[in-house]
């Protein structure tokens, strides 16, 4: 029986599955069938305390483990994830609804983070200045923080946990992960594989649950840092509460990613990109394109090219061969998106393709067809809200400057993209635009693992982006050592402030 089929899903603490003390639990759905497939235990405060105590106890030995050994374990972890790709992809698809191909893609991007962390011996190198003063050397070392926690969303059940835990563990921290209660199983398998790779028990723990678990992590004095990925209101709450409690916090929030299409763009290529980035994973990616800003005369042919492609998208269960777009994650989310679509025309925009037609009629699960909204504008719900569903919204502008202003005035600043054949225009956009990740003829510019991931404005609260070099910075404290080995014969009393010249 796979983990996803087990009736009751537990926590993973000190290297084994642990039942909850809370007596509370929640349903886990298969979004493709609309059926409940399991029940997941929700942690009580005592469960979180147990996990943090175990992680704290594991910290001294893990911190003292050599860099080569940590790297060796991460290499083995990488190999085991690779060997279990299909099993993991199946679990992800079953609980989240995304297609198997998409789940495999998520795993491939997650593996990149493991590969990056395997280089920890080089990544933790500090600087060394010989002879900063006469006979004095100064050097920097980076040390782990202690117990750190990760709180993750439903839309990347494996990749986002891997963004966090790989670098945190490589740096010598111990980790408590609180995955989304909608997709609890992938994290458990990852924890199991990490143990098989040789990670000592207690170094990586998983607590399942909801706000009670999150609030305890935010309050627990032994949790030194929190990494969060999820929606903006929760990200803001996590950042404000965590920092008030003295923790280091990086909290990545929601998004409304704009794709600016200039009149000189290749319309067919732009339409292909919009379809792929807007409807892939049923629009439930934080880097999905949700708004197309069509500049000038490109609007009519672009809308037409997108409209023509929509009926060709193969909608079906993620596990079914050939499916290109699966269901939404929950019934509530499907109904919420359908509700937004229902208000489009009365708000003054045009519902050019209505995904509700295709949707519910023929299928049991939480399906919705791809929708296209034209003539949208700020002030309309379809533009203002993060929809997080298979909806592309087109805003028409007359000029590049108008389009840029629209993007820069949007409260979110996660990803954005420009489609053009003009290098100068693209260079100007890269210079002007207020977003953390920019694609030039690339619709989903998720940075590779040796750069860092993060948005601007309401898409990220905190100072450091996630994974890559900034991830290493986030999970370590810098210590500067000033050292002298004097000849005792030259020692004298000097009450003056230390000078270096």
Q: Which residues bind ligand NAD (CB under 6 A)?
A: 151-156, 178, 180-181, 210-211, 214, 229-231, 234, 237, 252-255, 286, 386, 388, 414, 455, 459
Nearer to ligand NAD, 77 or 156 (CB): 156
Q: Which neighbouring-strand residues pair with 16? A: 13
Nearest Cα residue to 98 out of 153, 41, 25:
153
Smallest separation (angstroms) from ligand NAD to the CB of 186: 13
Task: Enter the tokens of residue 452.
Answer: 């860092």
Smallest separation (angstroms) from ligand NAD to the CB of 63: 27
Residue 483 CB contacts under 8 Å (≥ 6 apart), including other chains: 136, 137, 138, 139
Nearer to ligand NAD, 31 or 144 (CB): 31
Nearest Cα residue to 293 out of 260, 263, 322:
260
164 by Cβ neighbours in 10 Å (0-12 / 13-18 / 19+) ranks as buried
Smallest separation (angstroms) from ligand NAD to the CB of 496: 51
Q: Count Cα atoms within 13 angstroms, Cβ side, for 312.
A: 8
233 by Cβ neighbours in 10 Å (0-12 / 13-18 / 19+) ranks as exposed
Q: Given the residues 118, 171, 286, 382, select the one marked as catalytic.
A: 286
In Å, how far are 153, 269, 427 from 241, measured between CA atoms? 18, 44, 39
Smallest separation (angstroms) from ligand NAD to the CB of 386: 5
Nearest Cα residue to 259 out of 409, 410, 403:
403
Smallest separation (angstroms) from ligand NAD to the CB of 106: 11
Smallest separation (angstroms) from ligand NAD to the CB of 457: 11
Nearer to ligand NAD, 186 or 255 (CB): 255
Smallest separation (angstroms) from ligand NAD to the CB of 253: 6
Helix (H) or strand (E) holding 131: strand 128-133
Residue 106 CB contacts under 8 Å (≥ 6 apart), including other chains: 92, 98, 156, 157, 158, 159
Instruction: Produce one character per residue of 440-454: b if its CB has 16 or more CB atoms within 10 Å, e if not.
Output: eeebbbbbebeebbb
Number of other residues whose CB lies within 10 A of the CB of residue 500: 9
Smallest separation (angstroms) from ligand NAD to the CB of 12: 15
Q: Are 471 and 150 in contact (CB under 8 A)?
A: no
Task: Enter the tokens of residue 266.
Answer: 């290749």
In whole angstroms, what is the distance from residue 219 CA to residue 48 CA?
Answer: 11
Smallest separation (angstroms) from ligand NAD to the CB of 501: 47
Smallest separation (angstroms) from ligand NAD to the CB of 47: 14
In whole angstroms, what is the distance from residue 153 CA to residue 15 CA?
Answer: 23
**H helix runs in 197-352, sequence order:** 211-219, 232-244, 267-279, 299-309, 331-342, 344-347
13: three-class secondary structure by DSSP: strand
**Taking CB positions, which residue lies at the least distance from ligand NAD?**
230
Nearer to ligand NAD, 262 or 433 (CB): 433
Whether residue 382 lies in the annotated active site = no
**H helix runs in 299-399, sequence order:** 299-309, 331-342, 344-347, 355-362, 381-384
Q: Which residue has the tokens 């935010």?
A: 218
266: three-class secondary structure by DSSP: coil
Nearer to ligand NAD, 138 or 442 (CB): 442
Q: Are 396 and 264 in contact (CB under 8 A)?
A: no
Number of other residues whose CB lies within 10 A of the CB of residue 316: 18
Nearest Cα residue to 227 out of 171, 269, 279, 265:
171
Number of other residues whose CB lies within 10 A of the CB of residue 459: 27
Nearer to ligand NAD, 228 or 429 (CB): 228
Which amino acids are annotated catalytic? 286
């Amino acid at each position: 029986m796979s983990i996803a089929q087990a009736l009751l899903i537990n926590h993973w603490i000190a290297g084994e599955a642990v039942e909850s003390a809370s007596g509370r639990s929640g349903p886990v759905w298969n979004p493709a069938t609309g059926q409940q497939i399991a029940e997941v235990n929700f942690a009580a405060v005592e469960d979180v305390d147990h996990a943090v105590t175990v992680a704290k106890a594991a910290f001294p030995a893990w911190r003292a483990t050599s860099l080569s050994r940590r790297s060796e374990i991460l290499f083995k972890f990488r190999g085991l994830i690779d060997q279990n790709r299909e099993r993991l992809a199946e679990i992800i698809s079953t609980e989240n609804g995304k297609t198997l191909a998409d789940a495999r893609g998520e795993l491939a991007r997650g593996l990149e983070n493991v590969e990056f962390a395997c280089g920890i011996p080089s990544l933790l190198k500090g600087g060394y200045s010989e002879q900063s003063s006469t006979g004095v050397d100064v050097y920097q070392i980076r040390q782990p923080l202690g117990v750190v926690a990760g709180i993750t969303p439903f839309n990347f059940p494996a990749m986002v946990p891997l963004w966090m835990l790989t670098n945190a563990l490589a740096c010598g921290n111990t980790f408590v992960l609180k995955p989304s209660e909608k997709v609890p199983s992938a994290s458990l398998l990852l924890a199991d594989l990490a143990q098989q790779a040789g990670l000592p028990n207690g170094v990586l723990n998983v607590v399942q649950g909801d706000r009670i678990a999150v609030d305890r992590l935010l309050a627990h004095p032994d949790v030194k840092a929190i990494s969060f990925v999820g929606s903006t209101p929760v990200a803001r709450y996590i950042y404000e509460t965590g920092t008030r409690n003295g923790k280091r916090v990086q909290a990545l929030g929601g998004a409304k990613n704009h794709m600016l299409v200039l009149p000189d763009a290749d319309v067919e290529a732009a339409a292909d990109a919009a379809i792929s980035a807007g409807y892939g994973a049923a629009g439930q990616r934080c880097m999905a394109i949700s708004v197309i800003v069509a500049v000038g005369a490109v609007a009519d042919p672009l809308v037409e090219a997108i409209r023509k492609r929509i009926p060709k998208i193969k909608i079906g269960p993620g596990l079914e061969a050939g499916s290109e777009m699966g269901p939404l994650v929950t019934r509530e989310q499907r109904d919420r998106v359908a509700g937004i679509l229902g208000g489009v025309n009365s708000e003054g925009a045009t519902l050019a393709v209505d995904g509700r037609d295709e949707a519910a009629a023929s299928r049991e699960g939480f399906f919705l067809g791809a929708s296209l909204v034209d003539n949208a504008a700020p002030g309309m719900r379809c533009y203002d809200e993060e929809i997080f569903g298979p909806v592309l919204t087109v805003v028409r502008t007359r000029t590049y400057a108008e389009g840029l202003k629209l993007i820069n005035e949007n409260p979110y600043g996660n990803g954005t993209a420009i489609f053009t054949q003009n290098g100068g225009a693209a260079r100007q956009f890269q210079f002007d635009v207020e977003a953390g990740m920019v694609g030039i003829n690339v619709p989903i510019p998720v940075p590779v693992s040796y750069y860092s991931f993060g948005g601007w404005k309401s898409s990220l609260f905190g100072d450091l982006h996630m994974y890559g070099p900034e991830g290493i910075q986030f999970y370590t404290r810098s210590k500067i050592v000033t050292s002298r080995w004097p000849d005792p014969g030259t020692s004298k009393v000097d009450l003056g402030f230390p000078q270096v010249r």
